[in-house]
Structure formats: C-alpha cells, structure tokens
C-alpha cells in the first residue's frame, strides 16, 4: 500500500459511501467500503474493497491519490486496514454487453485507467460473473472490469473482477431535466 503517499501524521480512515454520489469514479461504483484520508475538509481516497461472491469483502485495492472529494458516511476509524493485504488494479475498463450466447458474453470495452478512445472487444464466460450479476446480465448491461494483483500476507496473486453497474432508477429531477430539455428543443428549434 502506498501509505508513503499520505502526508505524515495522517491516518487513513474507513468509510462507507453512497454509490449515487460516486459517479465520477466510474470503476468504483459498487464499492462498499472505502479507505480515505482527510486534509482540512477534503477527503481523498487511498483504497477500497469489494464484496466477493460469498458476500465477503476483498482486500483493499490501492488507488491513486488524491481523488475528488465525495459524499460518504463514516463508519469507523482504521478498521479493516492492513498494509500486508491489498490489491492493485493494473487495468480497468468500462464496457457493455453486446451478445450472450451459450454462456459466452461478448462486450465492447473502453480502457478507463488510460482514458483511451480506442475501443476493444472482450469475450468472457458468464461464470466469471458472480451469481447475482449472472442473473441480472443482459444485452446492453454496463459493467466494470479490472485485473491486477492482490497481495495477501506477502503472497502475490492475480485477480480479475467484473461487476455490473448498478444505479437507482431515474430520479424526479432527472425526469424533469429530460422533460425540460425536450420541451425547449421542441419549442425553440427551427423545425421544417
């Protein structure tokens, strides 16, 4: 863990975040716990951990710091943080499913870690999804995929993590925004 990046004397703290307010951190939308440090009134992410198929949390994944501040709810101090057990995401993508055939999922991807505009195409087995995601997946499903290395008690392991994007239904505000825009375009454009 790059705790060396933290300013001297600052201890990371464990928080829980509200996924709705976390859209700018695309690859972490489903993160349940997040490790942050605080400077003044700003909070910066150090790492996060993910829930696995058995409902257990993974080790912390290291992320670059600082990140933009976000709205989170504090759940404890220093709990669960272990500098011998962590993960590093070497590559991260956002993608969407283009076909599902006999358990093989094809998807289009974009490398979000490198902010690439080059498209990639991926093929993976539906069994690579956790049970909950496998039930939900359909053509058009948006997902996040990261691969990298995890470290557990000094042992390095490779990991791959695919997680479907989950967001709540449209809010009243979003529906109103869409309606307002549609009315404005309908009324103000020079239609033939």
- Two tokens, residue 66: 């600082």
- Of 81, 72, 2, 90, the C-alpha closest to 31 is 72
CB of 186 to other proteins, least distance (A): 5
- Two tokens, residue 56: 């257990």
CA distance 181 to 137: 31
| Backbone torsions φ then ψ of 147, nearest 5 degrees | -130, 150
- Two tokens, residue 179: 């309606």
- Two tokens, residue 169: 């239904």
Q: What's the N-to-C CA distance of the chain in angstroms? A: 61
Query: By CB under 8 A, how many residues form the interface with other proteins?
Result: 59
Site for other proteins in 131-150 (CB under 8 A): 138-142, 147-148
CB of 15 to other proteins, least distance (A): 21
In the shown chain, the binding pattern of residues 163 to 192 toward other proteins, with x for contact by CB under 8 A and - for none, equals -xxxxxxx---xx-xxxxxxxxxx-xxxxx
68 near other proteins, rule: CB under 8 A: no
79 near other proteins, rule: CB under 8 A: no
Identity of the residue, 7 or 192, whose beta carbon is nearer to other proteins in the bound complex: 192
H/E stretch holding 180 reads helix 172-188
52 near other proteins, rule: CB under 8 A: no
Question: Can you tell me whether residue 29 is helix, strand or coil?
Answer: coil
Find the part of the chain contacting other proteins (CB under 8 A) among 6-14, 38-46, 64-72, 108-116. 108-116
Contacts with other proteins, residue ranges (CB under 8 A):
23-24, 26, 90-91, 94, 96, 98-99, 106, 108-112, 115, 117-125, 128, 138-142, 147-148, 158, 160, 164-170, 174-175, 177-186, 188-192
């Amino acid at each position: 863990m790059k705790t060396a990046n933290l300013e001297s004397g600052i201890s990371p703290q464990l928080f829980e975040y509200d996924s709705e307010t976390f859209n700018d951190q695309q690859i972490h939308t489903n993160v349940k716990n997040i490790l942050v440090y605080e400077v003044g009134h700003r909070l910066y992410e150090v790492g996060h951990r993910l829930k696995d198929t058995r409902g257990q949390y993974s080790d912390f994944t290291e992320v670059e710091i600082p990140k933009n501040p976000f709205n989170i709810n504090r759940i404890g101090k220093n709990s669960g943080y272990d500098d011998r057990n962590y993960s590093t995401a070497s590559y991260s993508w956002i993608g969407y499913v283009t076909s599902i055939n006999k358990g093989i999922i094809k998807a289009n991807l974009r490398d979000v870690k490198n902010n690439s505009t080059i498209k990639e195409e991926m093929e993976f087995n539906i069994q690579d999804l956790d049970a909950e995601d496998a039930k939900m997946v359909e053509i058009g499903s948006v997902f996040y995929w990261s691969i990298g290395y995890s470290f557990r008690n000094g042992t390095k392991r490779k990991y791959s993590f695919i997680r479907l994007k989950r967001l709540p239904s449209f809010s009243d505000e979003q529906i109103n925004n869409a309606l307002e825009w549609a009315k404005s375009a309908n009324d103000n454009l020079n239609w033939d």
